[in-house]
Amino acid sequence: MTKMYPRDNNHNPVIVTGFGGKDGHRRELTMPARYAINAILVALFVFGGNFLVGEGLISRYQTVVFEQIGVYVLMTVSLNIVTGYLGQLPLGHAGFMSIGGYACAIFIIRMMPLFGLDAQSMASGSTPAVILFVVGLLFGGICAALMGVVIGIPALRLRGDYLAIITLGFAEIIRVVLVNIDSALGFKLTGGASGLTGIPAYTGYLNTAIVASLAIFAIHTLMKSRHGRAILAIRDNEIAAEASGVNTTYYKTLAFVFSAFLAGIAGGLYAGCIGVMAPAKFGFMKSVEILVMVVLGGMGSMFGSVVSATVLTVLPEALRAFADYRMVAYAIVLILVMIFRPEGLFGSYDFSLSRIIKRVMNRDFPWNNDDSDEQTDVQVNAKAGVQANEQADTQVEATTDSKEA
């Protein structure tokens, strides 16, 4: 059935260091090595990109597009937790984004005087500015997470279409509240329908890339732990998960709240990137746009989410030359993908750098091997339990790098 490699008494593959592979011994990367390789690649990508921005090699406009890519990658991977891993279909993700965005922007605007900062120095990267930025983002994320608890507990009792409709309703409530809360409170908080202005430009390429990488790392580690396994079990078979002692209510809420937290952080970055928050931006269409990114990339594939968020953010910008036709082209791309790849561009495939390195170490190339198929490789890979850590971080690296080139 599967190609067998030499095993020790505990049935672990026998590990031999060094190159080779034709003698039938499997070579494995140790866990610290995997972490180190991925960390170096992520650092290269983050700081390399920052170098390009700093030296003025890419224009201000391109930098803003990169920041938006970061925000949408964050939104897509966070929605992918609920849609791809938990298997539910919420339609209110933009609601969490707006909560996080408003909370973060208002917090930073109100706290700037306390830290002795103004709108200019907020973007300077000085220590108090960084501290305020981090605290503001966390504040935005926690506000969105609290809203996630409030919405998730009643909404997650439903499933399928009903969950989609109830979350859609909650997102609309959030939007309407943001418009009308000023007159109810009697002082200026959100700026009502005209929007919240005067948000300092605290979002840059560097901090967007770092936050996105950290978020992807956190999702990856969560999904490769007992919590992640419980979430996947609920997707695969809820009845069996309950009978196996998985507290489905708790884990559904956990996934939903974690997803809302990351969406709130994405909203905070978005506010600093755009500079103006208006409730009209966070309507139903925004939620659908993000859901389309998840579905296009492949539900349950973090690599797919990152790629499709990047493509679908760049595509409208790249097609700007064809002003009138660009939305038509966008729609045609979607239709073609849904016809020819209904499971999404990548299905449930996830890119793993360590897997490729291990292949090279074992000289396990398709043209070298008669019958050893990819299946075997994946299996031995999964054996290590934690394999390919931060693989997703390298995905960001790969995708955005290719774009930069």
Is position 9 an interface residue for other proteins (rule: CB under 8 A)? no
Contacts of 206 (CB under 8 A, 6+ apart): 46, 47, 49, 50, 53
Is position 385 an interface residue for other proteins (rule: CB under 8 A)? yes
Is position 8 an interface residue for other proteins (rule: CB under 8 A)? no
Binding-site size for other proteins (CB under 8 A) equals: 38
In the complex with other proteins, the residue whose CB is nearer, 102 or 261, is 261
Quick one: CA torsion of 37, 47, 97, 278, rounded to 10 degrees? -170
Is position 184 an interface residue for other proteins (rule: CB under 8 A)? no
Contact between 268 and 100 (Cβ < 8 Å): yes
Residue indicated by tokens 């992520």: 42
Angle at 249 between CA 99 and CA 143, to 5 degrees: 15
Is position 4 an interface residue for other proteins (rule: CB under 8 A)? yes
Least distance (Å) from other proteins to the CB of residue 154?
A: 18
In the complex with other proteins, the residue whose CB is nearer, 327 or 378, is 378
Least distance (Å) from other proteins to the CB of residue 26?
A: 13
Least distance (Å) from other proteins to the CB of residue 224?
A: 8
Give the 3-state secondary structure of residue 13.
Answer: strand
Number of H helices and number of E strands within the chain? 16, 0
**What residues form DSSP beta bridges with 26?**
15
Task: For residue 308, give the nearest of 330, 326, 281 by alpha carbon.
Answer: 330
CA 281 to chain CA centroid, Å, is 20
Least distance (Å) from other proteins to the CB of residue 382?
A: 5
Restricted to residues 236-275, the positions that interact with other proteins (CB under 8 A) are: 236-237, 239-248, 254
Restricted to residues 118-147, the positions that interact with other proteins (CB under 8 A) are: none
**What residues form DSSP beta bridges with 7?**
13
Least distance (Å) from other proteins to the CB of residue 212?
A: 16
d(CA 209, CA 41): 13
Note the residue count of the chain.
Answer: 405
In the complex with other proteins, the residue whose CB is nearer, 225 or 368, is 225
In the complex with other proteins, the residue whose CB is nearer, 62 or 248, is 248
**What Å distances lie between residue 17 and 30, 62, 83, 229, 255, CA to CA?**
10, 45, 40, 31, 39
For the record, the structure tokens of 168 come out as 């859609």
Least distance (Å) from other proteins to the CB of residue 301?
A: 12
Least distance (Å) from other proteins to the CB of residue 300?
A: 8
In the complex with other proteins, the residue whose CB is nearer, 232 or 338, is 232
Binding mask 365-384 for other proteins (x = CB under 8 A): -------------xxx-xx-
In the complex with other proteins, the residue whose CB is nearer, 41 or 254, is 254
CA 374 to chain CA centroid, Å, is 27
CB neighbourhood size of 12 (10 A): 13
Least distance (Å) from other proteins to the CB of residue 222?
A: 5
d(CA 1, CA 373): 11
In the complex with other proteins, the residue whose CB is nearer, 5 or 47, is 5
Restricted to residues 214-243, the positions that interact with other proteins (CB under 8 A) are: 218, 221-222, 225-230, 232-233, 235-237, 239-243
Q: Residues interacting with other proteins, by CB under 8 A?
A: 2, 4, 10-11, 218, 221-222, 225-230, 232-233, 235-237, 239-248, 254, 348, 378-380, 382-383, 385-386, 389
